Every structure is written in C-alpha cells, then in structure tokens.
Structure 1
Amino acid sequence: MSELTQPSAPRRFIGGQLLGSSQLVLGVILAVLCIAISIAAPQFYSEANIIAILRQCALVLIVASGMTMLIITAEVDLSVGASLAFVGCIGMAVLNSTHSLTLGLLAALAFSGAVGLFNGLVVTSLKVNSLIATIGTMMMLQGGVYLFTREAVQNHHRLAGFTDLGAGYIGAIPLPVVVAAVIFALAAATLRFTTLGRYLYAVGANERAVRLSGVRSQGLKLFAFVVTGLCVGVAGMILSSLMNAGQPTAGRGFELTVIAAVILGGTSLLGGRGSLLGTLLGVLVLKVIDNGIIILGWNQDLQMVVPGIVIIVATFLDIVRNRANVG
C-alpha cells in the first residue's frame, strides 16, 4: 500500500505549487499584455493613457480591497455596482444642497456603510445566502436610485475640492491612485499582520472551529460587509467627481469587474485563502485588457465579455486548486 500511495505525494505537491503560483502567472500575463498592446498601439505607453489606466484601476482596487476581505470569509457582495451609482447621486445631491464637501462625503459613506451593514445583518442574522441576499439588495438599489432621481444629478456647487477627488494630483500621482494605495495598504496590513486578519481567514477556512474557539464569526463577517460598503462609498464619490455628476446607471457591471479581479487574483470563493497582491494584479490585468480594447479600436462591448470569461475560468481553476490541496 505504501508503494502505491507514496508517489502521489510529489504529484500533489508539484500540482499545488503550480496552481498556487497564480500571482507569478498573472505577472507574466500582465507583462505579455503590455508588450503586445504597445507593439500594436505605441500610444499605449503615452503619459495620458497610463494615467487613464491608473485612474480606472484605482476605482476597482478600492472596492476590490474590501471585497477580497469579504470573499476570504466565504461571502460575496453583488450589490456594490448598484450601491456605487446610488452613492454618487446621494453625494452629489448633498453637495448641491450644502456646498460642503465634508457633508457630501459623510453622506456617501453613511449610505454605503449602511448598505454593507444591511447586507451583513441579512446574511448573519437571517442566515440568507450572501449571493441571494446581495442580489436582492442590488435590485432594491437599482430601483431605489430611480425613485431618488430620474436623471443624473448634475454638479451645481462648483467646489474645487470635489473636482480634485477625481482629477487632482499629489505631486505627479493622480489623487484617486493615492487614495486606492492607502486603502490597499491598510487592507493588506490588516490581513497579513493583525489578529483580525487571521480571524478573517479562519472564518472562511472553518467557521465552526472559529465559533468553538469562542470567536464571534458573525461579527467578523459583518465587519467585512461594512468595510466593503465603505470602500464603495469612497469609489462612488471619486467616480461622480470624474463624471461631474451622479449617474443612476454608473455602476452597471462594476460588481462583475470587481469580483472577477478578486477571483483572478487567487482568492477562493470557498473562503480561507487569498491575497491583496493577487487582487492588485487581477485589477491591472483586467484594466489593461479594457484599455487595449479601446485603443485598438475593437468593439467596446467586449469590456463586459472579458470579466464574464475571467469569472468562469478563474472559478474553474479555483476548483482544481482546491481538489489538488485536498487530494
């Protein structure tokens, strides 16, 4: 029996190593994409285009940082796109009424945090599957934003600080990129260096064991939902600044891009495994592909097709990786 079982161990180890090197693979894919697109369209490396890519990456990375923490706990939030649009409309309406950037930001964060809290309570207290719960929230938000406003909420306040949210710079770096870097760093430090981060991984890996150890797993999941919601609030205000309006349709498909980037980065939908470095690489790959589609003059509807393909492929690879680890 030992002669039969012994050779299988190296195969599991090698398979696990290859499947676990998703960050390295993503890095290679990113480099190949950049080289290929730049050969076909030299303007890819222009300063204006690079800044445009970074701004788009920043929006996705802000929400993906929270989503990574949430998916690590084996939950997911499909309402982030609808919430993003609603946040922009609410923030702009408050800015127009008060002419205060602080109040506009607080209103946006309060609303998005409340959405995250609502989702978390439905999942943890009512025991509704997070996929179903957040689809329900998404539908309520998509309808609710049209009850709130039938059209885009235009900028009537002319606050320079609001314009800087999306178009401003700190030195040579766009402000949205700085904000995304700060949120990314805080989330990464939390997951890697704190007890809270270890508990989030543990909840996703074995929630029952966490409960038996005396830790409130529901509170940890609630925390991840609220953090994701707050990240949506930040991204929603930056997006409304870039568009100079609150658009009820602004977040369509955004949740797919965020989830695709997180899964592509190696975070398991089953929970308990993932890294923000992988998420960052996933965001970069998706946004470089989007940018390539635009500058190469391809049909821009492909920008919605790519995340769908990525979700299917990345989920399949996650299943294979889990089987390799179990086997």
Structure 2
Amino acid sequence: MSEIVHPSPARRLAGGRLLGSSQLVLAVILAALCIAISLAAPQFYSEANVIAILRQCALVLIVASGMTMLIITAEVDLSVGASLAFVGCIGMAVLNATHSLTLGILASLAFAGGVGLVNGLVVTRLKVNSLIGTIGMMMMLQGGVYLFTREAVQNHHQLSSFTGLGAGYVGPIPMPVIFAAAIFIIAYVTLRFTTLGRYLYAVGANEKAVRLSGLRSERLKLLAFVVTGLCVGIAGMILASLMNAGQPTAGRGFELTVIAAVILGGTSLLGGRGSLFGTLLGVLVLKVIDNGIIILGWNQDLQMVVPGVVIILASYLDIVRNKANVR
C-alpha cells in the first residue's frame, strides 16, 4: 500500500512561518482598526456596540468553522447564504405549527444538512466543480424559498427558549457567542489533534496520494459538505431568533463574508493549508470594519464592497504564499 506523501520539514516550516506571519499581520490590522474607529467614534467601545459586534461575529464564525474545513479539502460552498435564509423560514414554520423548539431545530438541521449532502454528492459523484455546483444550489434555494413562502414567516408563538437562542445570555456572554465558541473549539480540536483532521488536510494537499493510500477522499469531502451544512442550520436558527422571524432575503451576501473571512485568515483555496485561528481573526476584522462603517455614518453599501475587495486581495496573497512554498 502506498503512503500519503507529506511535505518536507523545510517546506512545512516555511508554510508555518508564512501562515503565522499572516495571522500576526491580521492581529495588528485588527488592533489598528479598533483604535482608529474608537478615536473617530468613542461609542465603538460601548457595551451595546461590543455585544452587537460579538453577535454578528458569532453567526459568521459558526459557518466559517465548517467552511474552513471544506476549503481545506479544496472545495467551496457558495450556497450557504441562500440556505441560511431557507433554514430560518423552515425553522420558524415548524415552530409555529408544533410550538416545539426541539422539532424546529431538528427540522432546520435536517434541511441544512440535506443541502450539504446534496452538494457533496453533486461534487463527489457527478464530478461537478464545487464552485459551479453550489452556485446552482444557491439559485435553486433562492427561488425555492419564495415557493415555500412569499413573505417573512412571523413568530406566532411565545417560546422564551427560542428568543434565548439569539437574545439570551449566560452571565454577561450572549448565547450566540457561546454557540460559536463551542463549534469553533470542536472544529479546532478536530483539525489540529485528530486523525480525521489530518486526513482532511491530506485530501486538499494531495488527493491522489490519499486515494493510493486506501482512503476514500470522496467520503471525506462529503463529510465536510455536510458539516458545513449543519453549521448553516445552527446559524440560521440563531438568526431567525434574533430577527424573530424567518426572512427569505436574510442570507444575501452572507456567503461572501464567510468565504472572505476564511481566505483572509490564510486558508488556501487550493486546499491542504488553513487555520481556524486565522479564520477567527478574519471574521473579527471584517465585522469590525462593518461596524465601523455603520457608526461612522458611511454608506452601508460599502459592507458589500469590502468582502469583494478582501477576496481578491486574499486570493492574490494565497498565490504569493504558494509560490513561496514552491521555492
């Protein structure tokens, strides 16, 4: 049986230094942004604003944790924004019909996980490029949610447990932050300390070698798609709780923010390299910029411009890192 080919120690060291330096740069940028915005708008550090930033970061980080694992396998999912909106509508509809938070959450997870499963099968079985396949899924979900409901699914029950998903606290910490921290830790431990994590990196770095070693790379990619879908299910229910309704348009542009954060954090679009800590920094940078745009009174359309610029710049830096590793 052939063995998985691992990078040489020198190459691993060079890659680690590049990844570490990019995270250091992100940390410096984040600190500079916080200082600059707070000087221009002192309310930046108010308790209400900090909590608002943390809640926004939590939703993105939940999905970005799964997306990091997926992109490490050299695949991507552009349907997460459309799925997020659909999940909220389905979860709210089930809650209204059954008055059961458990059933609402299970329905949301089943739908989102099913979307991830279909995406994974399209990529691994039909051999459709993940970029094209998930764009197709995104379009189907965007149209499908309007077939499911033409308007927002309003909250017709008074379950305090549902409200607590988005607006609740454990001590001073918002519930969405606790959910995001738990998912982040699970994903971090999986990627850093488990055999599954090593296999995911190996699939992205050299899929052919993984197949020759006897592993089913298709199953690993399929798992990454499903995990990403389940993360969308959790985020979708939290968002529905925050909005107190299921909104068909809630996820527009969400996929761009998630992917921008992952790439900005140093995860390579070519697969085989990435860091969840870098993803966390990427999420914080993007959401601090978004918050700064709002409290400084700038045109809020810039919130859609920033992720696009970040994706281009981060992709260019990824090319530079790959060339450096080759050298």
Take 1:19 and 1:194, find their aligned partners in 2: how far apart are those partners? 20
State yes or no: 1:167 paired with 2:148.
Answer: no
Q: Would the aligned equivalents of 2:18 and 2:321 in 1 still touch at CA under 8 Å?
A: no
Whether 1:121 aligns to 2:121 is yes
Instruction: Report the Cα distance in structure 2 between the residues aligned to 1:182 and 1:15, rounded to whole angstroms.
Output: 28
TM-score normalized by the length of structure 1: 0.95
Contact 1:78 1:138 in 2 (8 A): yes
Structure 1 residue 17 displacement after superposition: 3.9
Alpha-carbon separation, structure 1, partners of 2:71 and 2:225: 10
In the alignment, does 2:276 pair up with 1:276? yes
User: For residue 45 of structure 1, what is the aligned residue in structure 2?
Assistant: 45
Letter in 2 for 1:268: S
CA spacing shift, 1:16–1:107, aligned 2, 3 Å: closer
The correspondence of residues 1-327 of structure 1 with structure 2, limited to 5 A, is: 17=17, 21-327=21-327
Sequence identity percentage: 86
Residue deviations 1:91-119 (CA, integer Å, cap 9, x gap)? 00000000000000000000000000000
- CA apart distance, 1:192: 0.2
**Secondary structure, aligned partner of 2:82:** helix
Shift of the alpha carbon at 1:157?
Answer: 1.0
In 2, Cα distance between equivalents of 1:22 and 1:168: 35
Query: CA deviation digits over 1:167-205, x for unaligned, max 9?
Result: 000111000000000000000000000000000000000
Whole-Å separation in 1 of the counterparts to 2:104 and 2:242? 15
| Aligned equivalents of 1:18, 1:72: Cα separation in 2 | 16
Q: Which amino acid aligns with 1:108?
A: S
SS in 1 for 2:249: coil
Contact kept? 2:14, 2:325, Cα under 8 Å: no
State the alpha-carbon separation in 2 of the partners of residues 261 and 19 from structure 1.
15
Q: Which runs of 5+ in 1 are unaligned?
A: 1-9
Rounded to whole Å, the distance in 2 between the matches of 1:92 and 1:158 is 12
Structure 2 counterpart of 1:260, one-letter code: A
TM-superposed CA distance for 1:158, in Å, is: 1.3
Q: Structure 2 vs 1, CA of residues 15 and 225 (structure 1 numbering), >3 Å: closer, same or farther?
A: closer
| 8 A contact 1:16–1:321 mirrored in 2 | no
Question: Do 1:16 and 1:325's aligned partners in 2 also have CA atoms closer than 8 Å?
Answer: no
- Structure 1 stretches of 4+ with a deviation exceeding 2 A read 13-20
| CA–CA separation in structure 2 for the residues paired with 1:278 and 1:18 | 12
Residues 95/253 of structure 1: CA separation in 2 closer, same or farther (3 Å cut): same
Secondary structure of 1:267 counterpart: coil
How many aligned residue pairs are there? 316
Question: What is the CA deviation profile of residues 224-253 of structure 1, one whole-angstrom value per residue up to 9, with x for unaligned ones?
Answer: 000000000000000000000000000000
Structure 2 spans left out of the alignment, 5+ residues: 1-9
Output the amino acid matched with 2:266: G
The 3-state SS of whatever aligns with 2:305 is helix
Q: In the aligned structure 1, how far is the partner of 2:129 from the partner of 2:275?
A: 24
Give a deviation string over 1:287-320, Cα, whole Å, max 9, x none. 0000000000000000000000000000000001
The Cα of 1:211 is off from its aligned counterpart by 0.3
Q: Show the counterpart of 1:3.
A: none
Contact 1:82 1:138 in 2 (8 A): yes
- What is the root-mean-square deviation of aligned Cα atoms in Å? 1.3
Name the TM-score, length of structure 2 as normaliser: 0.95
8 Å CA contact retained: 2:19, 2:266:
no
The letter for the 1-side match of 2:142 is Q
Residues 159 and 16 from structure 1, CA distance in 2 versus in 1: closer, same or farther, beyond 3 angstroms? closer
8 Å Cα contact 1:165-1:175 kept in structure 2: yes
